[in-house]
């Protein structure tokens, strides 16, 4: 890659050919050469967060690394998935731009480890394996939280900042966040975050090139030469990403297998071109046609907003139907006078109770339908009401979580993307908007290692 490095050691702008190459690198599978197995086995044990059985370690070492294995995480949130993508990008960066000839960097085969990357150093007595670092991206609060956590619990592990918030883009932090970062720099002067040699704007372009490839089947050079009508807004909801992942899995071609060691080869570019030419040339047009047929289909009815709209309208219809039932109530004609009076009285009590419990919700739903605000479904609105009522019933105001108090890596999907440095066509398609104030109910979040945690309810937006 014929990169241009500025005086800070950061690549200025990747050209189209370089972006095309990086996109291909990201979609390959990577295996481990036999010569590294023994040393890596020891390193995996050393950096593991738990006692791993030999069979588990062997399985880690013999399985290929591929971002396709983590595609389902894209459904939960795009940033979760991109965390794995950036690990490959970081390896390529180290192996081609930073490492000496005797050092090979790979993604740690153990996804639950203390370190995302491993550096394998060739010595006279064999291979020495050391921690390569944790690769972090996401929103500023999340990255800052992770940096502080690493300093205080994993000091010996390098911190690689692929968000740019702690290095290149410190000016985008809030005053409070900058003060906190400066405080950490003073407390740990010898443990600064490592800046990627790819600029933030290039990292964003790499990210969008990959999404466009997943959505259209075209690598950057092919996509750039065709007049495709493509909008990233199609994939802003979980349902649309779920459909995208399904389409990717159904139309994926035979995986291209490389080894991490291939990245160090002087013939890597030739090898990469040959692999893709052999694998993609025969049926590339057919694959792209399938992707474009999928993309041309309307996605609106599959979005979360559609389901929320359906939920609200169904609830409103139910409230109106029940309201009419109470109003038009007539007791059984065979009942006596007193029993009829009692039935009317009983119906009136139920009706007043029904109105008391649902009039507030009805007004809220009618207002949202009129304004076409489908950011919440019925249950989320009810949860929001419950939190408000609890706040009024207590002497203390409702506890609101600050950005620094919860993990926001998976909130505001384009938080770290919608900057003025991104190219205009994408920026116009997906402008960043501050979300309205709303309540996020308690939910289960799946971490990158497969563990599930409970996230407490909190208020977001303005």
Same domain for 358 and 229: no
Domain contains 3: no
Same domain for 154 and 141: yes
Identify which has the larger pLDDT, 455 or 447.
455
Q: Domain containing 403: what range?
A: 304-460
Domain boundary among 275, 300, 325: 300
Count of alpha carbons within 13 angstroms of residue 345, beta-carbon side = 6
In the chain, the percentage of residues whose pLDDT exceeds 90 is 32
Q: Work out how many domains the chain is built from and give that number.
A: 2
Domain contains 388: yes
Residue 328's pLDDT is: 85
Q: 19-77: per-residue pLDDT in tens?
A: 999 999 999 999 999 999 999 999 999 999 888 899 999 999 999 999 999 888 888 88
Q: Above 70 in pLDDT, residue 283?
A: no
Per DSSP, what are the bridge partners of residue 458?
440
Domain boundary among 268, 300, 332: 300
Same domain for 315 and 290: no
Give the predicted TM-score (pTM) of the model. 0.63
Q: Above 70 in pLDDT, residue 431?
A: no
Per DSSP, what are the bridge partners of residue 446?
452
Q: 122-165: per-residue pLDDT in tens?
A: 999 899 999 999 999 988 888 999 999 999 998 899 999 998 89
Residue 18's pLDDT is: 93
Domain contains 10: no
Domain boundary among 257, 272, 300: 300
Same domain for 345 and 279: no
First-residue to last-residue Cα distance in the chain? 44
Same domain for 226 and 90: yes
Per DSSP, what are the bridge partners of residue 453?
445
Mean pLDDT, residues 396-406: 36
d(CA 130, CA 156): 10
Same domain for 327 and 258: no
Same domain for 415 and 362: yes
Confirm if 81 and 87 have CB atoms less than 8 A apart. no
Residue 413's pLDDT is: 39
Backbone angles phi and psi of 135, in degrees to 5: -95, 120
Same domain for 89 and 238: yes
Domain contains 425: yes
């Amino acid at each position: 890659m014929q990169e241009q490095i500025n005086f800070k050691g950061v690549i200025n702008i990747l050209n189209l050919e370089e972006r095309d190459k990086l996109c291909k690198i990201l979609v390959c599978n990577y295996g481990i050469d036999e010569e590294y197995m023994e040393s890596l086995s020891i390193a995996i044990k050393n950096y593991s967060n738990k006692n791993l059985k030999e069979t588990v370690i062997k399985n880690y070492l013999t399985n290929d690394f591929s971002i396709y294995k983590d595609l389902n995480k894209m459904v939960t949130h795009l940033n979760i998935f991109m965390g794995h993508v950036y690990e490959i990008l970081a390896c390529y960066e180290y192996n081609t731009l930073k490492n000496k000839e005797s050092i090979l960097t790979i993604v740690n085969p153990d996804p639950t480890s203390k370190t995302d990357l491993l550096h394998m150093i060739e010595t006279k007595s064999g291979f020495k394996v050391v921690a390569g670092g944790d690769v972090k991206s996401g929103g500023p609060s999340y990255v800052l939280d992770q940096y502080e956590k690493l300093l205080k619990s994993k000091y010996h592990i390098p911190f690689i900042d692929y968000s740019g918030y702690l290095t290149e883009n410190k000016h985008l932090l809030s005053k409070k966040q900058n003060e906190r970062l400066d405080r950490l720099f003073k407390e740990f002067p010898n443990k600064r975050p490592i800046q990627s040699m790819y600029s933030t704007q290039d990292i964003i372009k790499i990210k969008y090139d990959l999404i466009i490839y997943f959505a259209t089947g075209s690598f950057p050079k092919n996509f750039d030469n065709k007049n495709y009508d493509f909008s990233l807004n199609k994939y802003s909801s979980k349902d649309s990403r779920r459909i995208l992942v399904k389409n990717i899995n159904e139309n994926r071609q035979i995986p291209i297998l490389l080894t991490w060691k291939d990245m160090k080869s002087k013939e890597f570019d030739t090898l990469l071109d040959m692999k893709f030419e052999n694998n993609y040339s025969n049926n590339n047009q057919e694959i792209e046609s399938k992707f474009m047929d999928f993309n041309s289909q309307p996605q609106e009815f599959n979005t979360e907003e559609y389901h929320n709209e359906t939920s609200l309208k169904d609830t409103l219809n139910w409230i109106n139907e029940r309201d009419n039932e109470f109003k038009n109530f007539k007791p059984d004609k065979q009942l006596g006078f007193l029993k009829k009076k009692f039935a009317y009285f009983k119906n009136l009590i139920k009706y007043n109770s029904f109105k008391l419990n649902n009039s507030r919700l009805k007004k809220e739903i009618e207002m949202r339908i009129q304004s076409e605000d489908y950011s919440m479904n019925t249950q989320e609105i009810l949860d929001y009401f419950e939190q408000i009522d609890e706040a009024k019933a207590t002497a203390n105001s409702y506890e609101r979580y600050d950005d620094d108090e919860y993990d926001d890596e998976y909130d505001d999907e384009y938080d770290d993307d919608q900057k003025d440095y991104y190219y205009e066509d994408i920026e116009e398609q997906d402008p960043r908007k501050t979300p309205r104030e709303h309540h996020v109910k308690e939910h289960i979040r799946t971490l990158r290692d497969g563990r599930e945690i409970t996230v407490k309810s909190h208020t977001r937006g303005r």
